[in-house]
Structure 1
Amino acid sequence: MPAFDVQQFRQQFAFFQQQPDWVYLDNAATMHKPQAVIDAVTQFYQRHNSNVHRGAHQLSQQATMLFEQARTSVAAYVNAAHSDEIIFTSGATAALNQIAFGLMHTVLKPGDRILLTQLEHHANIVPWQLHCQRHGVIIDVVPLTPQHTVDLVAYQKLLALKPKVVSFSHISNVLGHIQPVAQMVAQAKAAGAITMIDGAQGAVYQQPDVQQLDCDFYVFSGHKLYGPTGIGVLYGKTQWLEQLTPVFAGGEMIDTVSFVNTTFNKLPFRLEAGTPNIAGAIGLSAAISWLQKYNTEQIQQHKSLLLKEFYSGLQAIKAIDILSMPVHNAGIVALNVAGEHPADVAELLNQQQVAVRSGQHCAMPLFSYLAQQGAVRCSFAAYNTLDDVNRCLLALEQAVEILTA
């Protein structure tokens, strides 16, 4: 297999021509957008701007066609059985809230259990908590192994408690560890649970096949898949989407309305109240079409090379504490400098024009579990190069020298 051409890939991003001095390693927070995505969004506003599904005029019909084509594109990307199983949201957070709120009023009852893992993002914790506190639903949490991966033995024991919902991340947004999602879904379904996968980090690393996974829900955000911000995807099997009480109500999601009663529209519209992010959906579709021109295995091999070089370089820097394991890692490394605050380390890297994130990365329970105040997170994308790795290592080395002098 030929090597991945990182320079050709990188040239698709205007950001790197506009900001050639920056090393961007904050990709787990958001990715840059290729010109194909920027062009698709711009062309919609310049040529087709109109609202969808409602207008009698040709512009509205064209906008509707583009919007629904985007839904079909996303459905094909995740291998949904029907395009109606794709619900557009403002992001993975909104999708997770829709699931948690929606199930609580239909499926979940007092005394039911929800099973999460210690790795979860706040968006896969807090929505459940809001309703558990009100309705007497119990949350159980799967602990981690010493390698900071989900403890599958403990997971199996907790499944014996017969949780109604099992919800977990495809890839840890803090550590980059890839979870054995196919195995976890199969075990959860054998225990009779509804399964939900947070694919915010997973959808870009590996094209998800929701039919093969057999998960009931899968969510992700467009901006972490080289697409626009403000657009997300909630995939759900039809039988479970129909069980969700809508979080938002208003135009488009209704069938009939009176002051006495309202009936809801069919899927997917019943879960898409109001004017959707039309340009965002079109931009996400463009991102998917553009990304599929590249070989996923080549991209994964390229990122593995970057990780290997990064880990090798980190070993030579004193006082570095690495929280992420190099194996089964999607391209995210969390680290600390012993005795130093992660924000100080990140600021010194910022002064060297190396963009990383510091803090607790919307995963406070994980850092409490790890007994860490936070971490510096370096997250790699396909457009990163070995020069990026070397510049980050040099900046880290200089930061350590300054902080430990």
Structure 2
Amino acid sequence: MANFSDLLLDVARVRRDFPILDREVHGKPLVYLDNAATSQTPVQVIATFDDYYRRLNANIHRGLHTLADEATAAFEGTRETARAFINAAEAREIVFTRGTTEAINLVAQSWGRTNLGPGDEVLISLLEHHSNIVPWQLLAAERGFTLKVIPVDERGVLDLDAYRDLINERTKLVAVNHVSNALGTVNPVTDMARVAHDHGALILVDGAQAAPHQLIDVQAIGADFYAFSGHKVYGPTGVGVLYGRAELLEAMPPWQGGGEMIATVSFETPTTFAAIPHKFEAGTPAIAEVVALGRALSWVNEIGLTHIAAWEERLLEHATDTVSRIDGLRVLGTAPDKAGVLSFVVDGAHSQDIGLLIDQLGVAIRTGHHCAQPLLARFGVDATCRASFAAYNTPEEIDIFAESLERVVSMLR
């Protein structure tokens, strides 16, 4: 077993913050290893959500009464927390969305619709989640630009030589994930940003899988846009963050129209819009979710992302070593730099069957294409099993997972 004694994360203390980890599934203690889909939520975040509806529930920005003022302060407090979490230069560079998917669509529909046309090119990678593929496909069909794909090698590592060959003076945007949700590959986004900028292109980074696992500095990366989701970083569903450099956001037209995002509306003169970030936040937002997201980010800071990253790296090492002993099991994604994601297939056993049967033993993993069908096709499969790790997982849970997996595989053969 990998040595965990030298690490500074107190996993027993962390686990006390997550009441759901005390439940049983099919009479077995829950072993939750589907964190790349959705992480669990600590009591501090649950309490914040509850407190909002008990004490603060009011619409924000427009009211003059006490509840509206307090709700607005809590909402805008999260904007500053999110700014600091990714080291954006200004809080006005933080736009709240429903998640990473909506954030990418916002960039596509606002910046992309304004700046892309025939003769232009957008580069994405084979590692992308569908949310960073389909919006560009839809827009390319409408606007007439070309979408090009950066390939990956047999380890699941981006081919950076191919990237440098593909990018040229026609490239207007590189859209790439920071960490692959399907394989765990950590992409060299700082180097990729430098190459993009050398060619006059912008870079959008999908950080949904990076935000829970490593320190993020959008200024050091050189990201023009960066997106992540609340529910993958110990927060609520239905909320996410889009970072955009201020000068880019200021030049972009609104995507959705309605209340809050306007300065003036008239039938006689053109409607004028609010300053950033508010011109991209039409209507009443998910206020409680945003406030709770702020508490989730604070919780992560309290535990320490460097401690979380080191713990998860050791969990991944232990899990990879343990399950690799199972006859016929093949790990997909062997990049030298990986986050806590372990994808695999087993000869003679369908991934869906493995997922259903291992759930009967109390172990929650993900099976399927993980919204990464082009990537899995590259490896000649249409589905994998995926175990993914968080700060509250333990080496003992990895052992239970491996033992359960071996038992399930023997049943299916």
TM-score normalized by structure 1?
0.97
Name 2:290's counterpart in structure 1.
281
Could you say which residue in structure 2 is the equivalent of 1:6? Answer: 11
Partners of 2:54 and 2:76 in 1: CA distance: 19
Q: Secondary structure at the match of 1:328?
A: coil
Helix, strand or coil at the partner of 1:105: helix
Amino acid at match of 2:42: P
Query: Which portions of structure 1, spanning 4 or more consecutive aligned residues, are displaced by more than 6 angstroms?
Result: none
Secondary structure of the 2:382 match is: coil
Aligned-pair CA distance for 1:256? 1.3
Corresponding residue of 1:174: 182
Equivalent position amino acid for 2:225 in 1: F
Could you tell me how far 1:126 is from its partner in structure 2? Answer: 0.6
Amino acid at match of 2:355: A
The answer to whether residue 300 in structure 2 is matched with residue 291 in structure 1 is yes
- C-alpha contact 2:260 2:279 (8 A) present in aligned 1: yes
The one of 291, 312, 320 equivalent to 1:311 is 320
Identity across matched positions, percent: 42
Q: 2:364 aligns with which of 352, 355, 359?
A: 355
Output the amino acid matched with 2:116. L
Amino acid at match of 2:360: Q
1:100 to 102, 108, 112: 108
Q: What is the alpha-carbon distance in structure 2 between the residues aligned to residue 369 and residue 68 of structure 1? A: 43
**Alpha-carbon spacing, 1:234–1:181, altered in 2? closer, same or farther (3 Å):** same
1:2-401 correspondence to structure 2 within 5 Å: 3-19=8-24, 21-160=29-168, 162-259=170-267, 261-325=270-334, 327-401=336-410
Residues in 2 aligned to 1:175 and 1:388: alpha-carbon distance in whole angstroms? 21
What displacement does 1:275 show?
0.3
Instruction: Give the CA deviation at 1:354.
Output: 0.5
Q: Secondary structure at the match of 1:383?
A: coil
The 10-residue stretch of structure 1 (242-251 or 377-386) with the greater mean CA deviation from structure 2: 242-251
> 1:2 Cα deviation (Å)?
5.1
- d(CA) in 2 for partners of 1:128, 1:305: 36
One-letter code aligned to 1:187: V
Contact 2:99 2:238 in 1 (8 A): yes
Normalised TM-score (structure 2): 0.95
1:202-224 deviation digits (Å, cap 9, x = unpaired): 11111211111111000000010
CA contact (8 A) 1:74 1:86 kept: yes
> What's the CA shift string for 1:148-168, capped at 9, x where partnerless?
110000001011353100010
How big is each residue's C-alpha offset from its partner over 1:23-80, in whole Å with a ceiling of 9 and x where there is no partner? 0000000000111101111111101110001112111111111111111111111111
| Amino acid aligned to 1:122 | H
Listed as ranges, the gaps of 5+ residues in structure 1 are none
1:15 maps to a residue whose letter is: I
Q: Secondary structure at the match of 1:392?
A: helix
The structural deviation recorded for 1:326 is: 6.2
Structure 1 distance, partners of 2:118, 2:267, is 31
- 1:306 Cα deviation from its structure 2 partner: 1.2
Which range moved further: 28-37 or 206-215? 206-215
Aligned mates of 1:2, 1:136 — CA distance in 2: 52
Matched-pair contact (CA < 8 Å) for 1:66–1:282: yes
Tell me which amino acid in the other structure corresponds to 1:251. G
- Give, in whole Å, the separation in 1 of the partners of 2:169 and 2:147: 11
- Following the alignment from structure 1 to structure 2, what is the Cα–Cα distance between the partners of residues 243 and 143? 32
The aligned length equals 404
CA distance in 1, matches of 2:156, 2:170: 25
**Which AA in structure 1 matches 2:262?**
I
SS of the residue 1:141 aligns to: strand
Task: Indicate conservation of the 8 Å contact 1:106/1:243, yes or no.
Answer: no
CA distance in 2, matches of 1:18, 1:351: 14
Match of 2:3 in 1: none
C-alpha contact (below 8 Å) 1:175/1:324 kept by paired residues: yes
- Say if 2:22 and 2:29, in contact at 8 Å, map to a contact too: no
Letter in 1 for 2:276: L
Query: In 2 relative to 1, CA 326–313 (structure 1 residues): closer, same or farther, beyond 3 Å?
Result: farther
C-alpha RMSD of the superposition: 1.3
What is the alpha-carbon distance in structure 1 between the residues aligned to residue 103 and residue 197 of structure 2? 21
Q: Any idea what the Cα deviations from partners look like across 1:5-26, whole Å, max 9, x if unmatched? A: 1111111111112347110000
Question: Which secondary structure state, in structure 2, belongs to the residue aligned with residue 292 of structure 1?
Answer: helix
Tell me: CA distance 1:326–1:197, structure 2 relative to 1, closer, same or farther (3 Å).
closer
